[in-house]
Amino acid sequence: MTTALITGSTAGIGAAFARRLAADGHDLVLVARDTKRLTDQATELHDRHGIEAEVLTADLSAEAGIEAVAARLGDRRNPVDLLINNAGFGNKGRYLEVSMADELTMLKVHVEAVLRLTSAATEAMRERGRGGVVNVASVAAFVPRGTYGASKAWVVQFTQGAARDLAGSGVRLMALCPGFVRTEFHQRAGMGTDNIPNWMWLDADKLVAAALADLARGKTLSIPDPRYKALMGLVKVTPRGLLGGITSKTGRKYGPQ
């Protein structure tokens, strides 16, 4: 039986990955900051699907948290076959309205943690000749949206570059770029969502199903919805200056996750 490790597993997209992978018979390593929520989640998934669910409490904005998860990913005796780098957050406010400490914390979670955890996982996977990594980015990676969009753009570029370098090794890497998903993401950041049209909201379970299908097909980039595929096609042909004006009106605080 294979094992998947999911960061940010207790809510939103991470929880949807946990539900789907458990239903498919994968054992899980569940990673988040809240031990009680992790324990409750592990118990529920074990009881419902008969899989083993390990709990790893870790804060990926802290050195100790990154080290703990990296060590688990590098454990050759209990290998992880699939890594879902999902942990992330948003800051409310535009550039210079957010404290430098909060900006650096975002980079720690979205960039440094993703780099180090992906590296720990793929090193062990390459030795075995198999494995997969899904790094959750955002469609915000393709538009000018301050630190959030920039960090997600880094995730996309890094993942696709690493996938190219590891081609033929048996290890698959994919950047997942969802649009707006009804999760705790916006609430935790104190972000309003009243100005987002209903048609732009995605279902987390359907998103995960599409993402896993894209990973199985060997894609290195997944935009798992026709609506957002069309929007990103328009983004490619829209002048960057015009994009900047549009996104500044909605504000970085409305960045998708």
Residues identified as active-site: 148
Q: Tokens at residue 52, please? A: 């083993």
CB atoms within 10 A of CB 126: 14
- Alpha-carbon distances of 215 from 136, 154, 158, 208, 209, rounded to whole Å: 12, 19, 16, 10, 10
Distance between CA atoms of residues 227 and 138, nearest Å: 14
Rounded CA gap, 168 and 171, in Å?
Answer: 8
The rounded distance, in Å, linking the Cα atoms of 47 and 209 is 22
Could you report how far apart the first and last alpha carbons of the chain are, in Å?
30
